Amino acid sequence: MRTGLGYDEAVEVILADAAQHALFHRDSLCDMLATMMYRHKLDDTLWAKYVPTAYYVMAEVLLESWLELAVVPPEWLELHNLTEDLPSVSDSSSSEEGDDPEDPDFAGPSPKEEE
């Protein structure tokens, strides 16, 4: 994301009930709003209520042009924080995990371990 936030932080920000429209370039915001209008998702997006009316007017014009050209905006997947699906670091790491003596990069035990 252009704001310098990490993925999990960006998802948390976008799911929040607060003004987020300033995070997006005008054209991207209008595309999102027009798509939300087409998909009837404005009420499902908490931050949409904070967007100034001028952006909705631009999005309506964009949506009308899409409809005239028979353009169907792509459907969005449900937004959720993918980092919650990841196993914790302590669950997936151990000193023995991935140690394969047959691996050409395997260096064997460290000198401290041999002492």
pTM beyond 0.75: the answer is no
Q: Say if 18 falls within a structural domain.
A: no
Which pLDDT score is estimated for 106?
Answer: 64
Domain span at residue 28? 24-84
106 occurs within a structural domain = no
Annotate the chain with DSSP letters as a single string.
-TTS--HHHHHHHHHSSS--GGGS-HHHHHHHHHHHHHTT-GGG-GGGGGS-HHHHHHHHHHHHHHHHTT--PPPPPPP--GGGGSPPHHHH--SSTT--TTSTT---S-HHHH-
Let me know if residue 8 belongs to a domain: no
In this structure, are residues 1 and 23 in contact, taking their beta carbons and an 8 Å threshold?
yes
The pLDDT tens digits of the residues spanning 51-107 come to 999 999 999 999 999 999 999 998 877 766 666 666 665 555 555 556 666 767 666
Indicate if the pLDDT at residue 4 is higher than 80.
Answer: no
Task: Identify which of 1-5, 10-14, 16-20, 87-91 has the greatest average pLDDT.
Answer: 16-20
Domain count, the chain: 1
- The reply to whether 79 falls in a domain is yes
